Amino acid sequence: MEAITGQELIRAVALLGAGIAMGLGAIGPGIGEGFVAGKACEALGKRPDQSQLITRTMIIGQAISETTGIYSLIVALILIFVV
Amino acid sequence: MEAITGQELIRAVALLGAGIAMGLGAIGPGIGEGFVAGKACEALGKRPDQSQLITRTMIIGQAISETTGIYSLIVALILIFVV
Amino acid sequence: MEAITGQELIRAVALLGAGIAMGLGAIGPGIGEGFVAGKACEALGKRPDQSQLITRTMIIGQAISETTGIYSLIVALILIFVV
Amino acid sequence: MEAITGQELIRAVALLGAGIAMGLGAIGPGIGEGFVAGKACEALGKRPDQSQLITRTMIIGQAISETTGIYSLIVALILIFVV
Amino acid sequence: MEAITGQELIRAVALLGAGIAMGLGAIGPGIGEGFVAGKACEALGKRPDQSQLITRTMIIGQAISETTGIYSLIVALILIFVV
Amino acid sequence: MEAITGQELIRAVALLGAGIAMGLGAIGPGIGEGFVAGKACEALGKRPDQSQLITRTMIIGQAISETTGIYSLIVALILIFVV
Amino acid sequence: MEAITGQELIRAVALLGAGIAMGLGAIGPGIGEGFVAGKACEALGKRPDQSQLITRTMIIGQAISETTGIYSLIVALILIFVV
Amino acid sequence: MEAITGQELIRAVALLGAGIAMGLGAIGPGIGEGFVAGKACEALGKRPDQSQLITRTMIIGQAISETTGIYSLIVALILIFVV
Amino acid sequence: MEAITGQELIRAVALLGAGIAMGLGAIGPGIGEGFVAGKACEALGKRPDQSQLITRTMIIGQAISETTGIYSLIVALILIFVV
Amino acid sequence: MEAITGQELIRAVALLGAGIAMGLGAIGPGIGEGFVAGKACEALGKRPDQSQLITRTMIIGQAISETTGIYSLIVALILIFVV
Amino acid sequence: MEAITGQELIRAVALLGAGIAMGLGAIGPGIGEGFVAGKACEALGKRPDQSQLITRTMIIGQAISETTGIYSLIVALILIFVV
Amino acid sequence: MEAITGQELIRAVALLGAGIAMGLGAIGPGIGEGFVAGKACEALGKRPDQSQLITRTMIIGQAISETTGIYSLIVALILIFVV
Amino acid sequence: MEAITGQELIRAVALLGAGIAMGLGAIGPGIGEGFVAGKACEALGKRPDQSQLITRTMIIGQAISETTGIYSLIVALILIFVV
Amino acid sequence: MEAITGQELIRAVALLGAGIAMGLGAIGPGIGEGFVAGKACEALGKRPDQSQLITRTMIIGQAISETTGIYSLIVALILIFVV
């Protein structure tokens, strides 16, 4: 591999970093958001008359939990396209 | 492996990154969405008359939990086809 | 291994990535879907009269949880056949 | 190992990938399906009169959970025989 | 290790893959089937009059959970004897 | 890789570090925030009349939990753009 | 280690694979069977009059859980003696 | 990589260390603070009349839990900018 | 290490494999058997009049759980003495 | 990297050690302190009239839990600045 | 390390294997036996009049759980002294 | 790195060991002490009149749990300054 | 490191093995014995009149759980002093 | 690193082993002792009149749990100072 330049090594490592960032970064929000929706379903089973309120809170809660997953996506895309 | 150029190394690492991103990225949403649907079934067992509401909430909740899995898929496909 | 060309290295890494993607990607949905079906059985034990509703919800819930497993399969097959 | 050609390296890595894919891919469905059947037995202990319904749901639920394990088997077999 | 040919490397890697596939592949079904039988014993303690039904369901449930373990065995044996 | 300079090695390692920082850093807040929102949905199911109060507390609690995820994003972006 | 032939490398790797297969393969059944017997003891404490039934079910359940452990033993022995 | 000086190696390792420190350091506080806010929401659902007291305690508790995350940020920034 | 022959490498790897097999193989049965005995003690606290029955079942259950540990011991001893 | 002196290697390893020490050292206290504050919020929901006492105990308890995190910070700072 | 003979390599690997075998092998029994004794104490708190019976069962149960730990010790000692 | 002497290697490894010792050593006490303080807050919520007794016991319990964290600090400091 | 003899390599590996054996070997008994004493305190809170009996059982139970930790210590000391 | 003698390698490995032994060895007792003290606080909340008895038992229980942590400290100190 003597013909490999530093710029190429940087690019290769950036792509590996993108894969790691997105792969690990999807674990937390995936489990977390699932917990939110599961608890919302449970709450609906008890108070179906409040479905609009619970669903709204669920979506807000999931959207905020989503953020770290989106950060991971952003970092991965920057590592792929910008770097 | 002296005949390997930098472009080929980048491509090889990108494919490995794609595998890692999708493999790890499927763990979180898989567990999370399963939790949602399991809790929805549990809620249905208590309030079958609210089945439409609970099923709708379950699907919305799972769809949002799915997002980080889709991000992983996107990153993996970009690493395979675009890079 | 001096006779190995870059194309061959890319292919070798792609196959390793396929194995990692499918292996890890089967963990999450496998556990998640099992949780769904387990909770559905539990709910059936309480409300057998709602079996059609619960079974339908279980299958929908499992089908959505399955998606990230299918993504992993797609990525693995692309890494094997397309790359 | 200078006498190793690229085709042989690809094959060796493919076999290692097959082992990883099947090994990891059996963890999730194995635990998940066990959870289904365990919950079904629990439900039977409460409502033995619904045994046919519960057993049927258990088998459907396990069959769907099985899918990601089967995907792993398919990917492993492709990596062994087709590649 | 310069005297090692590619065919020998393939064979060595295949045997390592067999060990990994069977070792990891025994974890999931082992835990899952144990959960089934444990829950069956628990159910028997509550409804001993349904022993035949519960035992039958337990064996069916374990047999299906066993499948991914058997897949691992098959892949391991193929990696040892066929490859 | 003899043509690689120290500056290029530093840049490559920085990008890998960015991927690790963001990937791992998304696990904790993702799970934590999901727990917050799940508990908020549960609380809403019990006291829907306090929805404004609970939702406000949920958002404050998630925002504070978010901080370590944001730190990870900052460190990752510094490692990519500033270093 | 230049004097090592390919056949010797295969044998060395096979023995390592045997150790991994048996070591990992003993974790799942060990925990699973323990769960079965623990639940059986618990059930006996509630229904001692059904001891024969519960003990029989426990032994059947453990025997089936044992299978993946036996597969691991078989694979390990094949890797040691047959390969 | 013969042209790499010791100062460049130190800098590269420092950046890797920064990524590890921030990535791992975000896991604990992220989960911990989420637990605080989740329990606060739960408490609010029971005693909404004490919302000010509970919210205040939640913020104090999260702020203290935050400290180790901030330490990680500080160490990461020192490793990037000062070293 | 040029003076090392293949036979010596095989023996070294076999001993490492023995250590791994026994070390990992003791985890599962150790936890599992502890669970059995713990549950037996719990059952005795409820039904001391059935002590003979519970103790007998406990010992049978532990003996069966022990098997995978014994397999590990056998494989380890074979790897040390026979290979 | 032949131009690297021992003093530079020591410094590089010290910085890596600082990253590991702070990163791992933030996990335990972060989770632990979060548990304290979560339980304090729970207790406040039951006895709001004892808020001063509970908050004081919470802060003392968190401060003591903090210590190992501070030790990690100290060790990390010593590894960066003193060594 | 060219002066190292194969016999010395075998001995070095055997000692490493002994450390791994004993270290890992102490985890399972340590947790398991602790569970036994903890449950025994719990049972004593309920039925102190059966202390002799419970203590006897506890010691038998712990002794059997101990076995895999002893196997690990035996394998470790064989790897140190006999090999 | 040919200019590196043994004394410098020893020092580098000692610093790495210090980082590992303190980083890992902070996990256990951090979680453990948090559990103590959390349980103390819970107890205070039930018996605020015993606050002095509970707080005293909490501090003693945490101080003893702290010891292994302090051992880690001592070992880390010895590895940094004395070695 | 060409001046290193086999005897020195054996000694170095033995010391590493001692560290691994003691480090890992302290995890299990540490958690297990803590569980015993925790349950004993819980039991004392219910039956303080049986304190002598419970404390005695706790110490016996902990002493037996201690054994695998002592085995680890013995193996570590043998690896340090005898080998 | 050709100037490194075997004695220096042994010393370097011993220091690394000391770090591993103390770092890992602090996890178990740290968690275990925390469980003891947490349960003691819980017990005090129920029976404050038995504070002396519970505190005494807690300290004895923690002291015994401490032992494996102390073994780790001893092994670490021996590896640093005696070897």
Cβ separation E44–G53 shorter than 8 A: yes
ipTM associated with this complex: 0.90
Q: Report chain N (83 residues): mean pLDDT per 10 consecutive residues.
A: 79 93 94 94 88 90 93 95 86
Q: What is the pLDDT of residues H33-46, one digit of tens each?
A: 999 999 999 998 88
Q: Name the percent of chain N in helix, strand, coil, to the closest 5.
A: 90, 0, 10
Count helices and strands (H / E) in chain B: 3, 0
- Amino acid I79: pLDDT: 94
- Amino acid F24: pLDDT: 95
Contacting residues of M for K4, CB less than 8 Å apart: 4-6, 9
Inter-residue contact J13 to J64 (CB < 8 Å): no
Sign for the CA dihedral angle at C69, C71, C74, C79 comes to: negative
Task: Establish if L77 touches chain J: CB-CB under 8 angstroms.
Answer: yes
What would the mean pLDDT of D14-41 be, rounded to a whole number? 94
Contacting residues of M for N12, CB less than 8 Å apart: 12
Q: Of C21, C37, C36, C35, which Cα lies nearest the Cα of C69?
A: C21
DSSP string, M17-65: HHHHHHHHHTHHHHHHHHHHHHHHHHHHHH-GGGHHHHHHHHHHHHHHH
Contacting residues of M for K13, CB less than 8 Å apart: 13
% of chain A residues with pLDDT over 90: 71
Q: How many Cβ atoms from other residues are within 10 Å of residue A43's Cβ?
A: 29
Cβ separation J71–L66 shorter than 8 A: no
Shortest Cα distance from L55 to chain N (angstroms)?
9
pTM for this structure? 0.91
Task: Establish if D59 touches chain C: CB-CB under 8 angstroms.
Answer: no
For I5, the 3-state DSSP assignment is coil
CA-CA distance, G35 to I38, in Å (whole number)? 11
Select the residue from E11, E33, E35, E46 to test the G interface by mutation, using most G Cβ atoms within 10 A.
E33
Burial of N23 (0-12, 13-18, 19+ CB in 10 A): buried
Establish, for the pair of chains M and N, how many residue pairs have beta carbons separated by less than 8 Å.
216
Establish, for the pair of chains A and F, how many residue pairs have beta carbons separated by less than 8 Å.
217
Contacting residues of A for F30, CB less than 8 Å apart: 25, 27-33, 65, 68-69
Cβ separation E3–G7 shorter than 8 A: no
> D47 in the Ramachandran plot: left (φ > 0), alpha (ψ -120 to 50) or beta?
beta
CA-CA distance, E11 to E8, in Å (whole number)? 5
Q: What is the pLDDT of residues F31-81, one digit of tens each?
A: 999 999 999 999 988 888 888 889 999 999 999 999 999 999 999 999 999
Chains N and M touch, using 3 or more CB pairs below 8 Å: yes
Instruction: Judge whether residue H69 has pLDDT over 80.
Output: yes
Select the residue from J5, J10, J20, J27 to test the H interface by mutation, using most H Cβ atoms within 10 A.
J27
What are the structure tokens assigned to I64, written together?
């069966």
Cβ separation G31–E36 shorter than 8 A: no
* H-run or E-run covering J2: none
The identity of residue K8, as a single letter, is E
Cβ separation K35–M33 shorter than 8 A: no
How does D4-30 read in b/e, with b if 16+ C-beta sit within 10 Å?
Answer: bebebbbbbbbbbbbbbbbbbbbbbbb
Task: Establish if G10 touches chain I: CB-CB under 8 angstroms.
Answer: no
CA-CA distance, A67 to A62, in Å (whole number)? 9
Out of G2, G34, G43, the one facing E2 most closely (by C-beta) is G2
Q: What is the pLDDT of residues K49-72, one digit of tens each?
A: 888 889 999 999 999 999 999 999
Residues near F47 by Cβ (< 8 Å), separated by ≥ 6? F54, H44, H45, H46, H48
Q: Name the percent of chain G in helix, strand, coil, to the closest 5.
A: 90, 0, 10
How does G29-52 read in b/e, with b if 16+ C-beta sit within 10 Å?
Answer: bbbbbbbbbbbbbbbbbbbbebbe
DSSP string, J14-78: HHHHHHHHHHHHTHHHHHHHHHHHHHHHHHHHH-GGGHHHHHHHHHHHHHHHHHHHHHHHHHHHI
Inter-residue contact C24 to D24 (CB < 8 Å): yes
Inter-residue contact D39 to D57 (CB < 8 Å): no
**Residue showing tokens 């970009």:** B78
**Nearest-5° Cα angle at L49, L44 to L53:** 70
Task: Establish if J35 touches chain H: CB-CB under 8 angstroms.
Answer: yes
* H-run or E-run covering A70: helix A51-77
Q: What is the pLDDT of residues G3-29, one digit of tens each?
A: 778 888 899 999 999 999 999 999 999
Shortest Cα distance from F52 to chain H (angstroms)?
11
Chains J and L touch, using 3 or more CB pairs below 8 Å: yes
CA-CA distance, B18 to C15, in Å (whole number)? 11
Q: How far is CA K1 from the centre of its chain?
A: 35
How long is chain N?
A: 83
Instruction: Judge whether residue D65 has pLDDT over 60.
Output: yes
Sign for the CA dihedral angle at I25, I26, I28, I33 comes to: positive
The DSSP 8-state label assigned to residue K81 in this structure reads: I
- Amino acid D79: pLDDT: 94
Cβ separation C32–B35 shorter than 8 A: yes
Establish, for the pair of chains H and J, how many residue pairs have beta carbons separated by less than 8 Å.
217
Chains G and E touch, using 3 or more CB pairs below 8 Å: yes
Residues near E47 by Cβ (< 8 Å), separated by ≥ 6? D44, D45, D46, D48, E54
% of chain M residues with pLDDT over 70: 96
- Amino acid E1: pLDDT: 57
CA-CA distance, C80 to K16, in Å (whole number)? 38
Instruction: Judge whether residue J50 has pLDDT over 80.
Output: yes
The identity of residue F16, as a single letter, is L
Out of B1, B15, B31, the one facing C79 most closely (by C-beta) is B15
Cβ separation A27–B22 shorter than 8 A: no
What would the mean pLDDT of E41-68 be, rounded to a whole number? 90
